[in-house]
Amino acid sequence: MEGPLELISRTASSTWTNHDHARAGKASRCRNKLPPVIHDSEKEVGHFTRLRQLAAWIEKMVLSAAEATPSSSLISVIFLQNTFTQVFLAVAVICLCTRVISEHRFNAIKNGRASGIAPPTLPHWIPGLRHALHMAYSAKHFVAKSLNKYGDGTPFFVDAAGEKILILLDPKHVKRALAASELDANVFVHTKIMGQLMGSPQETVDFYRTPNHGIDELAMLQIRQHTTGTPLTSMDNKLLEIFERNMSKAHAPAVKGDWVEIPDLYSFFKHLATLSIGETLLGSAIVESYPRLAEDLWTFIEGTDILLLGLPRFFAPSAHGARDRLLKHIKTWGRKSDALREQNAVDKSWDAVAGSRLMQDREEMYTPLPGHGEDGRAAQTLGLLYGGTSLSIPVTFWFLYEILRNQNLRQKVIDDLRHQTDSTSAAVDFAQLATSPFLQSLHSEATRFYTRNVAAREVVAPIFELDDRYAVKKGITVLIPNAHTARFTAEWARTRPQAVERPLTDFWPERFLVPDGKSERYSDAGLSGNWTSFGGGEHKCPGRFFARDMALVTLIVFLEEYEVEIVDPEGARQFDPVWNQIAFGTMAPTGDIAARIRRRKV
């Protein structure tokens, strides 16, 4: 049997070096159909010289230990004969060598001059599995640590046991990817998001693999039609009505003008907003019959990274259980809605059982489609509910919180609200409010600063040329973490210099304002690769205007109708989240933010 010292010596020998060259050369040409990596021979010699030195050092330490005491024969047995020790040392050496070699390969590709090559893969310790264990344990934290260490703009692969994901960081690459016809979002949406995250049945996923079904475009158009113009105003007013009612029910004494203590403003707002959006979209009946709707929805949302990886149920039992309950109640909601439509007894504008006109039209569109039984339609509804809450609610909280803890900003927002609204009318003109350059900029900055989501695409062409250096093969998933591009100062400075007058690591409400004669106007023009909170290209989030108007509804309630005070604004800053600790997921305060609330006196 080969001992650990022989293994160490062989591991550090030219066998590894030749194998490394072969994989970077011939294998790259034959299997990947991409040109070989050009290696820096001096750096390579240095890496393997250090490996041989390490092997010699370990051998010296083991032999010294065996000769150091009279019981050398016993130590010899322990170090040189014991099978467990041999296996342990062998595994340690293999992992160490794998790390050194993979890091060398990463740097060789990154610093080389070859063109048409695949981007580098992050260094790893375990052959075969590579980054799989890190991703299974916490994908959002692992990717964040990788971005912190390797996020200089070079695209890189994360490899989870052969399932490769390309991470794009440089806004130039991002802009190219979002506009490219060689990449498509729908493949990822149906296989990963709908299939693995939302629990869509396989027959539904298979339907979207049929060519020319045309439903994706129709669904996007449908959402745009219902979240712009007059239909959007109707949804805004319904959301305001429900929000006001839920606020009154949650804190009745506050309505009478008494101060009411709120131990945790974030939890209070999240629960209130989730129920209000859920009722606006799906109607009152499901919210009343399913009291833990908000709780289950957020348990499900927080398990996104594990569910997306398709890992077994025991990795995230709470998230799986929450999704099961959500789908069960949504299917019941769907049956009741179907029955009302069959009887022609639905209020088309908004129905307490069938919900909004948007949801009614979606149910009518999906019902006759192959593979869209009640399970398939329930997954689609859950997807829309997820999309309407997971991003917009945390962003709206931080939008509100930044206003509440800054007296100057609060007064500026109140003045702007009063300037944009008609004091003689009881109705709120959301279309007019949405034209405010300052409020638009404030909301965009909150979205830029506090979102941790990703835009996802899949390469559908044989080869996608990212730039003059890197090329990507068909079938590769491409992820764009918005938090990193939102802070990529060099490209922001090149695209819009005035936007970096304040560091991108600061919250600056005026960042999206540009000069317009003697005044200022809102603009996000030219920032498609820098600011990707709502995606980009033809797949840009169609519900982004409803997300913006939800923030306006919040301002009306929390600033115009009620008074809200943070108990200790400066002390609460310790609970601000660290922006680079997670690559995606919910940005929530790290502790409870105490506040108090009462009805504003007229």
Q: Is the per-residue pLDDT at 522 higher than 80?
A: yes
Flag whether pLDDT at 8 surpasses 80.
Answer: no
Question: How confident is the model at residue 3, as a pLDDT?
Answer: 47
Write out pLDDT tens, residues 539-575.
788 899 999 999 999 999 999 999 999 999 999 999 9
Domain region containing 106: 1-117
Residue 492 is encoded by which pair of tokens? Answer: 């922001």
| Mean pLDDT value across residues 396-409 | 97
pLDDT at 38: 38
Q: Which two tokens stand for residue 154?
A: 């070079």
* Band (69; pLDDT cuts 50, 70, 90): low
Q: Which of 102, 117, 132 is the last residue of a domain?
A: 117
Mean pLDDT of all residues belonging to the chain: 87
Domain end among 94, 117, 140: 117
Number of domains making up the chain: 2
The answer as to whether 576 is a domain residue is yes
> Do residue 104 and residue 199 come from a single domain?
no
Cα–Cα distance, 135 to 140 (Å, whole number): 8
What is the torsional sign of CA 391, 541, 509, 486? Answer: positive
pLDDT tens for 481-494 read 999 999 999 999 99
- The single residue listed with the structure tokens 């050496």 is 93
pLDDT category at 422 given cuts 50, 70, 90 is low
SS3 at position 65? helix
User: Taking 90 as the threshold, does the pLDDT of residue 467 lie above it?
Assistant: yes
Q: Do 108 and 207 share a domain, yes or no?
A: no
Distance of CA 433 to CAs 430, 478, 522, 550, Å?
Answer: 5, 37, 13, 12
Question: 129 lies in a domain?
Answer: no
**Does 488 map to a domain?**
yes
Pair (109, 217) in one structural domain: no
Say how far apart CA 95 and CA 11 lie, in whole Å. 11
Over residues 577-601, the mean pLDDT reads: 93
pLDDT of residue 207: 96
Length of the chain: 602
- Give pLDDT, residue 56: 61
Does 79 or 347 have the greater pLDDT score?
347
Q: How far apart are CA 173 and CA 195, in angstroms?
A: 28
CA separation for the pair 38, 116 (Å, rounded):
12
Mean pLDDT, range 72-99, rounded to an integer: 76
Q: Are 380 and 212 in contact (CB under 8 A)?
A: no
Q: Where are the alpha helices (DSSP H) in 227-345?
A: 229-250, 252-255, 265-282, 284-289, 293-302, 304-308, 317-342
User: Domain holding 432: CATH number?
Assistant: 1.10.630.10
Residue 393 pLDDT > 50, yes or no?
Answer: yes
Statement to judge: residues 351 and 467 lie in one domain: yes
- As a whole number of angstroms, the distance between CA 12 and CA 56 comes to 10
As a whole number of angstroms, the distance between CA 538 and CA 181 comes to: 10
Average pLDDT value for residue range 305-315: 89
25 band by pLDDT with thresholds 50, 70 and 90:
very low
Report d(CA 229, CA 582) in Å as an integer.
36
pLDDT bin (cut points 50, 70, 90) of residue 258 is: confident
Are residues 596 and 567 in contact, defined by beta-carbon separation less than 8 angstroms? yes
Same-domain pairing of 111 and 223: no
Q: Are residues 326 and 469 in the same domain?
A: yes
Least-confidence region, from 41-55, 291-305, 436-450, 548-562: 41-55
Instruction: Tell me how far apart the alpha carbons of residues 84 and 78 are, in angstroms, rounded to a whole number.
Output: 9
567 domain-assigned:
yes
Average pLDDT over residues 464-472: 96
94 and 232 fall within a common domain: no
Q: Regarding predicted confidence, which is higher, 59 or 155? A: 155
Distance (Å, whole) CA 240 – CA 428: 9
Looking at 117, 135, 163, which one is the last position of a domain?
A: 117
Number of C-beta neighbours around residue 291 at 10 A: 10
3-state secondary structure of 260: strand
85 and 207 housed in the same domain: no
**How far is it, in rounded angstroms, from Cα 368 to Cα 377?**
11
pLDDT digits (tens, 9 = 90+) for 260-271: 999 999 999 999
- Is it the case that residue 275 has pLDDT exceeding 50? yes
Residue 29 has pLDDT above 60, yes or no: no
Q: What is the average pLDDT across 330-339?
A: 97
| Residues 95, 242 within the same domain | no
- Residue 541 assigned to a binding site: yes
* Domain assignment present for 158: no
- At which residue do the structure tokens 């304002």 appear? 513
Which of 17, 33, 169, 30 lies closest to 104, judged by CA? 17
What is the average pLDDT across 519-539? 87
Neighbours of 424 (CB within 10 A): 5
Residue 311 — very low, low, confident or very high, per pLDDT cuts 50/70/90? confident
Beta bridge partners of 183: 459
